[in-house]
Structure 1
Amino acid sequence: MSETEESEPAGPGREEIWVEKYRPGTLGEVIGQEEITDRLERYVERDDLPNLLFSGSAGIGKTTCATAIAREVYGEDWRDNFLELNASDDRGIDVVRGRIKEFARASFGGYSYRIIFLDEADSLTSDAQSALRRTMEQFSSNTRFILSCNYSSKIIDPIQSRCAVFRFSPISDAAVGERIREIAHIEGIEITDGGVEALVYAADGDMRRAVNSLQAAAVMGETVDEEVVYTITATARPEEIEAMVTSALEGDFTTARATLDDLLSNKGLSGGDIIDQLHRSVWDLGLSDREAVRTLDRIGETDYRITEGANERIQLEAFLASLTLADEA
């Protein structure tokens, strides 16, 4: 049992942030990335830690694994030997030449190396990445770098070649659901099966979002059910998305547009949220392969236009209209 499980539950509404309260402290406690954590544990056991590159979407354990490595290598001294920087805030070359070099050069005792963790490293400019590569070479004897990014393709090849690359995958629905039930039990929260399923759907493999959503839902009432979850996460029910697309495909544009208007105006979803859910629902609509491919093509085009700054409502209505007119094309 971890330390967080031994603590006294305080009931919904407490000031603690559950994402931090229930963040795994060791690699063995990390959920859903067993193959990666097994390899990382072997590095730590052999005291043979290379530079590491973690890539993958948000909320799937990259930062947690980095801090867990530091805790296991340094014990109680981990904060003194672990520097965490967020590259999305400090994007320039001066940060690489400044804070990183200053930390790497600082004297320390008892350990053969220190760890620098650079989160969102794909936000660094090309010049900053080049400077980072030189810094990694210069301090290779006494510093280990852990880089975290969403897209490894944005990291220059000279850095990738100096790192052991680990590609994190979204956490499985079963693992997210199990963790949600565990936290709800510890906190004394009543949660329905529908509430768990809704949290799993809204999280879409992001454990951080699932835990944050559970904490937000816990203050809404005595019971966390699907209605509460969909409300606080600004997520449409899967059946609403499917009904909207089905209406358009059947030629009933008016009904499809009314559903879209309800999602945008009454439920507060953004165009990007709807696009994401549309993409996730395509293969659940019972479409033929040809219809599914055509729908995905239109989703991609709509997503691009919205991302480029076009009006969300107009683009989504045009998407539904294109589905309605598909048989006439």
Structure 2
Amino acid sequence: MMEVDVPPAVINLPWVEKYRPQSLGDMVSHEEIIKTLTRFVKSNKLPHLLFYGPPGTGKTSAILAVVNNMYSQKQRKSMVLELNASDDRGIGIVRDEIITFAQTKSLHLDKDSTDLKFVILDEADAMTKDAQNALRRVIEKYTANVRFCIICNYLSSIIPAIQSRCTRFRFAPLSLEHITPKLEYVIAEEKLKVTEDGKRAILKLCGGDMRRVLNILQSAAMAFSVIDETNVYVCVGQPTPKHIEKILQILMNDSFAACCRKLQEECGGQGYALVDVLTRLHDLIFELDLPSNVVICLIAALAETEQRLSVGTSDRIQIGGIVAAFMRSRRMIKEAAEMQ
């Protein structure tokens, strides 16, 4: 029989998982939160936890690092329940899985092991209010032998009764000084060729989201041998800075009909989503030397357009609205110049 060499499973892992921190010491940011969690674990006085903040800021990684510290790999199967509340948002997930898990106790633990079980409920802001109320009662009933970690993006979507029973930690977007060393480390580990403008493009697009950094980097690495700014933007399907500057030049100089036609050609020809063009235009407007009343007019108009796009309106119609907003701004600039 012919033998085939099977590469280690880690090679095929997404980089988000491959480079996920395995301990609290590996976390790249949130020093105060990490110190507090470390003290909780060392003193064996872990409360119920509520982690909230934008995606990719280390919420899930932090609690998995806590779990790795508390349990051996063998114990995790019986002592830790990981659930994604967005899969099943109803009361059934509480009644069928969480209560069943909380009611049982594990035996034959090591001397140094804790007898507390752990429930990790990710994306809990997707849970219905009825499910959250049922969860509140479960938290109260099984506090003696179970600890809960509720993870969500928006704190306001968690009922006050659960908030008051948990120690809350806010995970802010990661700063560039924390993201950059991790990015450099992954580039070195994977032996990638990344230009400086490619790195800047990744950092600009990530918005403080470490998960997005790694996903963009892996996608670009699979598609291109050299990762530069253009290749990064091609991978994420967003307009490059030069393309946005070209669109802005059109909006600030051409006639209404020409602007509408050219903007449709630019977006349609390159396959850009209009909402992505809006986001990049928004950033660029603040870099221009425009009167404050003109900036206010433009930002308000772009915000209204983005809101309309979010509810499924026609891109073609909204392009007309964008062009009209820039026409008003051009008239305001002209009037201000004539008054001087």
User: What is the TM-score when the length of structure 2 is the normalising length?
Assistant: 0.86
Residue type of the alignment partner of 1:157? P
Equivalences for residues 224-303 of structure 1 within 5 A: 224-245=227-248, 247-249=250-252, 253=256, 257=260, 260-261=263-264, 263-303=266-306
Equivalences for residues 19-168 of structure 1 within 5 A: 19-76=16-73, 77-109=75-107, 110=109, 111-168=114-171
Residue type of the alignment partner of 1:62? K
Q: By how many angstroms is 1:170 displaced?
A: 1.1
Q: Secondary structure at the match of 1:284?
A: coil
Cα distance change of structure 1 residues 278 and 106 upon mapping to structure 2, 3 Å threshold:
farther
Q: Secondary structure at the match of 2:286?
A: helix
Higher alpha-carbon deviation: 261-270 or 207-216 = 261-270
Cα distance change of structure 1 residues 326 and 43 upon mapping to structure 2, 3 Å threshold:
same
Q: Distance in 1 between matches of 2:312 and 2:265?
A: 22
Preserved CA contact (<8 Å) 1:248 1:321:
no
Q: Distance in 2 between matches of 1:230 and 1:174?
A: 22
Q: Distance in 2 between matches of 1:285 and 1:252?
A: 21
- Which segments of 5 or more consecutive residues in structure 2 lack a partner in the other structure? 1-6, 333-340
Q: Distance in 2 between matches of 1:286 and 1:45?
A: 55
Higher alpha-carbon deviation: 243-252 or 67-76 = 243-252
1:215 aligns with 2:213: no
Cα distance change of structure 1 residues 241 and 79 upon mapping to structure 2, 3 Å threshold:
farther
Deviations 1:93-141 (A, max 9, x none): 1111110111111211332311111111111111111111111111111
Preserved CA contact (<8 Å) 1:87 1:119:
yes
Q: Distance in 2 between matches of 1:260 and 1:35?
A: 47
Larger Rg: 2
Higher alpha-carbon deviation: 19-28 or 307-316 = 307-316
Preserved CA contact (<8 Å) 1:242 1:285:
no
Please point out which of 204, 207, 218 is paired with 1:204. 207
Q: By how many angstroms is 1:204 displaced?
A: 1.5
Q: By how many angstroms is 1:308 displaced?
A: 1.6
Cα distance change of structure 1 residues 27 and 313 upon mapping to structure 2, 3 Å threshold:
farther
Q: Distance in 1 between matches of 2:221 and 2:250?
A: 35
- Which segments of 5 or more consecutive residues in structure 1 lack a partner in the other structure? 1-9
Preserved CA contact (<8 Å) 2:230 2:240:
no
Preserved CA contact (<8 Å) 2:90 2:131:
yes
Q: Distance in 1 between matches of 2:104 and 2:198?
A: 50
Q: Distance in 1 between matches of 2:29 and 2:193?
A: 24
Q: By how many angstroms is 1:321 displaced?
A: 1.8
Q: By how many angstroms is 1:163 displaced?
A: 1.0
Residue type of the alignment partner of 2:247? M
- The count of corresponding residues between Structure 1 and Structure 2 is 317
Higher alpha-carbon deviation: 185-194 or 271-280 = 271-280
Higher alpha-carbon deviation: 69-78 or 204-213 = 69-78
Residue type of the alignment partner of 1:299? L
User: What is the TM-score when the length of structure 1 is the normalising length?
Assistant: 0.88
Cα distance change of structure 1 residues 85 and 260 upon mapping to structure 2, 3 Å threshold:
farther
Cα distance change of structure 1 residues 281 and 140 upon mapping to structure 2, 3 Å threshold:
farther
Higher alpha-carbon deviation: 130-139 or 175-184 = 175-184
Cα distance change of structure 1 residues 45 and 256 upon mapping to structure 2, 3 Å threshold:
farther
Preserved CA contact (<8 Å) 1:245 1:320:
no
Q: Distance in 2 between matches of 1:286 and 1:144?
A: 54
